[in-house]
Each structure stands twice: as structure tokens, then as C-alpha cells.
A and B are shown apart, each in its own frame.
Chain A
Amino acid sequence: MNSRLAGRAPLAFVRTVTAGAALAALAAFPAPAWAGKVFVTNERDHTMTVLDSDSLSTIETIKTGRRPRGLTASPDGKLIYVCASDDDRVEVYDANDYHLVKTLPSGPDPELFILHPSGNPLYIANEDDALVTIVNTETGKVEGEIPVGVEPEGMGISPDGKLLVNTSETTSMAHFIDTQTKQIVENVLVDSRPRVAMFTPDGKFTWVSAEVGGTVSVIDNATHQVVKKLSFAIPGVNDEAIQPVGIRITADGKTAFVALGPANRVAVVDVQSYEIKKYLLVGQRVWQMAFSPDGKTLYTTNGNSNDVSVIDVDDLKVKKSVAVGRGPWGVVAVP
């Protein structure tokens, strides 16, 4: 029950380690020119850690607005968008030199957002205000607000950018929104406290995780019916601890990864058969995940152990865990 209280490393310790690691990285392991970067928001430190994807050492710790949570990258990987939840804005950073390029209005308490596949606009879930806010990333203007359920959070968009799915936690619904008309076309009831919505790469299905319900609903986007409900069972782990949040599906559409929160595991699911192939042990309270640009590595944020687990997607093995700031929340990797 009190897993959120457990396992927080003292602040000083984390700072020392990251600073030390950063120095070591600069001195001993100069990053190769082709190495990518992994950005991690630290909700409780109000910072964003930048990792070198090869050495997995900290290159930089960026001071962000208060309570940074969701983050994403522009399609070209040059800009990093961060929800600064307690500052009620979206911050845009240069992925190369880390300077704050601009801030965008977000509506109150932005938690998660998703970029249109073209890079514009940005769709933001305003958790405190039961709204989805649409912001033009070029002009910084709010283009619309769509009323949704209580505590909107999860945001998914179809590969063609025509369909947006938002989940509202207390309302327990996935709202299907037409991005052209900005109208809700259907509301699909799922299990309790839906957190994340993820389209399959073919755009045919949406996977929605339910944190309290302990399930993932697979919704057919054509009929809006729940065609499959996945549940999870891990020997030796209490059912109550299995709280699915983050979902990622490989680009070939074959394998899905589901982060199971305080169960401290990531489930590996066969997308065709819905069979659960494996549970990977990661850090404490795993929520969000992101693939590397080549799709071969998956990074998970472990909010209570203050680290990131690095998973080899082909071998389905956890290779390493890397200390970041306090309360790591979101993660994105760029080339």
C-alpha cells in the first residue's frame, strides 16, 4: 500500500551521483558523434536529465519549470516539449544545446500531451480542468479546447493524425476525438483509472491501460468496441500491486510492452495472440516508457527508485539501470 513512500533516495545522494557521473562521462567517455540522447523528466526535482544513449551517463541536468511530467520530441528530434505541470505551461527545449526555446500556453495542470504526427499541433490533457487543449506549436496560440471527463491524462493519436484518443482517469473513459472537427465521436467505458492510450502502428486498434482496474483494454477503432481485455498475474505479486500505466508497441506491430507500476515489472505482450510472453523486473513504480529511435532499446522511468531501466527489445532482457533525478516521470529518446 505505501509503495510510494518507500525507496526514495536522499536528495544529496542523487545529486552527487549524477554530478559525478556527468564529470566521468565528459572526462573518460566522450560520446561518439552518432550517439543519441535520452531525456527524462524528474517530477520531484523540477529537472530533466539528459543521458547519452551509448554510455548511459548523464550529459546534462536541465532545470525546468515546476513538476515536469509528460514530454515528447518533435518529429525531427530537434525540439523537446515538456509539461511543467505546476507552472501551467509547456516548455520547449533545444535538444542540442538544451536552451529553453519558448514556452507554450497549456491550460491548467498539463500532465501528458501528444504531437500531431506532422509536428503541429500539440494536444494537451489538462488534468485539473477536464479539458483537452489544442495548441499551435508554431504560433503558440490555443486553437481549441475540448471538454472531456474528470482528470484527463492519456493521449494517443492515430498514425494518420485523424483520430485522437484521450483517457479520463476518474470518468474511466476513452474519448475518441475527430481532429478535423475537434468533436468527440465516441466515449468508450474502460476499467477504473485509465492512464495511457496507444494506437497500434496500423492504426486499427487503441490500447488503453487502467491503473486501478489492473487491465489493458484493446479497442477496435472502427467499431469502438473493446475486443480484448488483458489482465496480468505475476507469481508472488499481489493483484492490487499490478497497476498498468505506460504502453509501447514496436514499430512492426508485433510486441507490446506494458508498465505495471508498483508491481515493478514490464509485461511483454504478443500483439496478435494477446499472450503475455514475459514479465521483466525493472525499478520501483514503473510508469512511462520510450523506445530508442532505432527501436532496439526501451527505456522505463521508475518513479520510486529514481532510476531508468534499459531493456533490450530483441533479447527481452533488462540490461542496466541508470540513476536519474527524483521521481522520474516521462522519457523520450532522440537520435
Chain B
Amino acid sequence: MEFTFGVLRQFPENPPWWNNIVTVPPEDDGIAGAALGVVDDNTTGRFLKQDFKIVAQELVPNGADPMPAFNRILESGAKFVLVAVPADALVKMADAAKGKDVILFNVGATDDRLRGADCRANVLHTAPSRAMLTDALAQYLVTKRWPKWLLLVGRRPDDKLYAEAVKRSAKKFGAKIVDERTWDFGPDARETGNDIIPVFTQGVSYDVIVIADELGEFGPLIGYRSWDPRPTVGTAGLKATTWSITVTGWGAEQIQNRFFRQSKRGMRPLDFQMWLAMRTIGESAARIRSNDPAKLREFIFGPSFELAGFKGGSFSYRPWDNQLRQPIVLTTDEALVAASPQPGFLHQTNPLDTIGFDKPESQCHFTGQ
């Protein structure tokens, strides 16, 4: 029995000062996670006579139209397609694949609207929503009793979306944004940071600096330069993410070792999110012994689906917006600090639903299902 996958990744924009041999993202970011997922699926599959393969893989340059690549993947016969593209492109792809017998996985886009007004029934999200990331952070900051936040926002549209998510989380968990400031000092402030940043962070009292800067243009420069000695959190400093090399508990050492042996580098969030998509199909296939996307879908949203993801407990999909539930780790580059949900944030059915959009607040209405 064959399971055919397609993988599509569009390269994100590179910030200007990433020209550093250590910080440049690897060419195979994400793709390597998909490759490991196929290997893991096949190790199980060989006992069940199931064969998992990537039949089409497309890497699209930043700024190019990814639709032709997506159409080539559909034509190749892939039934399960992993896409890491911006939100607008993802919506287009979902609509183009509508009515076809294909499951799409959004492995990259964190946009809340993809889980809300722009949700699509044929897309499952292994990427976290921004709301999940900022809720995870907010739970921890509130637990630490650091409720007063200075919010620093980058100049790009994605940064504003992250800032919106931060504001929503602050409201949800009772924190206060004491001031919001927009970074407007250009794309490279390495030389001038010591002059600019003390002034930029002056004149208000706060517990932490929350940074909304998804490309990392200025966030890493803020720590140790602020007027008051305060930690930085968000997209820099203490980061909220799905995966990091610092995750070693919950049996994670095994997948970290396996990944490193395969790719000679650490596993990154996009790698992990692609691996999760592969394992979603692999795990369901082993249980129901079918490669019919409709039957797999039914199982994925049924009560017996449980995905083991090396962060404790099992992951599952929220039926109201197709978002994968998973703990979010809060980590610095070197050390894991915590994983949310934090203990004590209660939920009537699943504590993982305390981060991100819960059913009553969901703006997602699937049509034509």
C-alpha cells in the first residue's frame, strides 16, 4: 500500500545581517524533517507492507509565485502535501485543491487568520498559531508574576500580527502592556544599538520586554542594552516555539540524535513541524491500514488518534479549526526554560486547549464539508 507525499517550501526573506556562517538557516530547513518522517513511517510501514514516499519536492525562491510548483505536486499524484508558504499562498492552494482527494498540511504559516476567518477544511496545521505561541509565553510570565510588559514591534506586517497576538494573550491571561513601541531604526542597528536602545526602552516601568520581530532584525540586540535591566521574551531572548535543540526530556534525546545523524545539524522548528505532518499520516495509516485520505481524515479527527511528539502526552487535532494541539516550549538558545501549558491553567477537556483558540472563541466556519 502506497502513501504519496509532496513537499513544498518557499524560502522566507533573509534579514540583511544574517550573513554569518552560524546563523544562516540551513538550505534543507524543514525538508530534512520531512525526510526523517518518511524514514520513521517506513520503519513501521515495512511491518505492515505500507510504503511511504515523497513523490514531489519543490523549493521556491522568496518572492516567486509558488502556485506552479504546487500544481506540479498535485499532478505528480501526491495525496498528502506539506506546504511551508505565506498565508495568502496557502489559502490559494487550499482552494485550488478543493474537491480533490488531497490533504494539505500547513507546516509553516503561523497566521491566526488561517485558524479563523480564512480557515480551510482541507488544511491541517502542524505549525502553531501565533496565538498558541504568545499564550504559552503569557502563561509563563503570569505564573512568574511578571505582568507588566513593554511591547516592541518590528516594521514588517508579520511583526504587527505577532504583536496583535501578544495583546490578545495579555488580555486573556491578565497581563498589562504598559507601552507599545515600533522599531524604526532600519534593518541593521548593530553599530548604533548602544546609543539607540537605552533611549528606546526608557521612560516607563515594566517587568519584561516582549519582542515582536519574526525575522530577528532587532530583537537579539535589545537584551543587555535596555535602559532598565529586564529580560527579553517573544521572538528573541526567551522564545516560544514548537521545537529546539534544547528539548531533551520526554524521550526527545532519541529524535534529536536520529535527526543529527541524518542531517549533521540540530533539528529546527520547521523540521519538527514537517516531521509531525509525516507522522500524522504514518500513525493513522498503521491504525486503520488504509491510504484513502477521507478515511485517514476520519480517523485523525476521531477519539483514538494520538500522536507522540516528544513533549509529553499525546497530540491531537482541534476539530473546530484543524490545528494540532501540542505543548509549546519556552527556550533560550542554550537552555530550555519551560513548556506550556503551565500547571494550574485548567481546562474542562484538554489543558492543551488553554493555548491558542479554544472552541467557543473560534472564528473558523468550515464550508462545504
A residues in contact (CB < 8 Å) with B: 1-5, 109, 127-128, 130, 149-151, 168-173, 175, 184, 187, 189, 191-193, 212-213, 238, 240, 243, 262
Whether B15 is near chain A, meaning CB under 8 Å from some CB there, is no
Which residues does B use to contact A, with CB under 8 Å?
A: 40, 43-44, 47-48, 249-251, 254-255, 257-258, 261, 279, 283, 286-287, 306-308, 311-314, 327, 336, 338-343, 351
Once the chains bind, are B286 and A172 in contact (CB under 8 Å)?
Answer: yes
Contact B343 A2 (CB under 8 A): yes
Q: Which 6 A-B pairs have the closest CB atoms?
A: A4-B249, A171-B44, A240-B313, A187-B47, A212-B308, A150-B43
A184 to B47, CA, bound (A): 10
Contact B336 A5 (CB under 8 A): yes
Asked if B342 and A1 make an inter-chain contact with CB atoms under 8 angstroms apart, the answer reads yes
> Are the CB atoms of A240 and B287 closer together than 8 Å?
no
Say whether B306 contacts A191, CB under 8 Å.
yes
Contacts of B251 in A (CB 8 A): 151, 169, 193
Cross-chain contact A187 with B48 (CB below 8 angstroms):
yes
Q: Let me know if B44 and A213 touch, CB within 8 A.
A: no
Q: Is the CB of A212 within 8 A of B306?
A: yes
- Once the chains bind, are B43 and A1 in contact (CB under 8 Å)? no
Q: B88 to chain A: closest CB distance in Å? A: 34
Q: A1-B340, A127-B254, A128-B258 are in contact. Are A149 and B43 (CB under 8 A)?
A: yes
Let me know if B257 and A109 touch, CB within 8 A.
yes
> In the bound complex, how far is the Cα of B343 from the Cα of A238, in angstroms?
11
Check A171 against B327 for contact (C-beta < 8 Å).
no
Chain B residues, CB < 8 A from A213: 306, 314
Dominant SS among interface residues on chain A: loop
| Contact of B44 (CB < 8 Å), options: A2, A127, A172 | A172
> A240 near B257 (CB under 8 angstroms)?
no
Residue numbers in B under 8 Å from A189 (CB-CB):
286-287
Asked if A2 contacts B283 (CB within 8 A), the reply is: no
Tell whether, in the assembled complex, residue A4 and residue B47 are in contact, meaning their CB atoms are under 8 Å apart: no
A184 contact set on B, CB distance < 8 A: 47
In the complex, are the beta carbons of A171 and B308 less than 8 A apart?
no
Question: Can you list 16 A-B pairs, Cβ within 8 angstroms, ordered by A?
Answer: A1-B311, A1-B327, A2-B338, A109-B254, A109-B257, A150-B40, A168-B43, A169-B251, A169-B254, A170-B43, A172-B44, A173-B47, A191-B306, A192-B306, A238-B351, A262-B312
Q: Which residues in B have their C-beta under 8 angstroms from that of A151?
A: 251, 254
Instruction: Given A191-B306, A212-B308, answer yes or no on A4-B250 (Cβ-Cβ < 8 Å).
Output: yes
Report the minimal beta-carbon distance from B312 to chain A, rounded to whole angstroms: 6
Contact among A5, A130, A149 with B249 in the assembled complex (CB-CB below 8 Å): A5
- How far apart are the CA atoms of A213 and B286 in the complex, in Å? 15
**A-B contact sample (13 more), CB < 8 A, given A189-B287, A212-B306:** A1-B313, A1-B341, A3-B312, A150-B40, A151-B251, A168-B44, A170-B255, A172-B286, A184-B47, A187-B48, A212-B314, A240-B314, A243-B313
Known: A4-B249, A189-B287. A128 touches B261 (CB 8 A): yes
Q: A5 CB to closest chain B CB, in angstroms?
A: 7
B254 touching A1 by the CB < 8 A rule?
A: no
A212-B313 CB under 8 A given contacts A5-B338, A169-B308, A240-B351: yes
Residue of A nearest to B252 (CB): A4
Q: Give the distance in Å from the alpha carbon of A330 to the alpha carbon of B343 in the complex.
A: 28
Residue in A3, A128, A150, A191 whose CB lies within 8 Å of B257? A128
Is there an interface contact between A4 and B286, defined as CB atoms closer than 8 Å? no
Min CB distance A89 to B, Å, is 16
Chain A residue numbers with a CB within 8 Å of B258 are 128
- By a CB distance below 8 angstroms, the chain B residues around A170 are 40, 43-44, 255, 279, 308
Q: Which residues of B contact A169 (CB under 8 A)?
A: 251, 254, 308
Min CB distance, B9 to chain A, in Å? Answer: 24
State A169–B250 Cα separation when bound (angstroms).
12
**Distance A3 CA – B327 CA, assembled complex (angstroms):** 13
Closest chain B residue to A109 by CB distance? B257
B314 CB, nearest partner CB in chain A, Å: 5
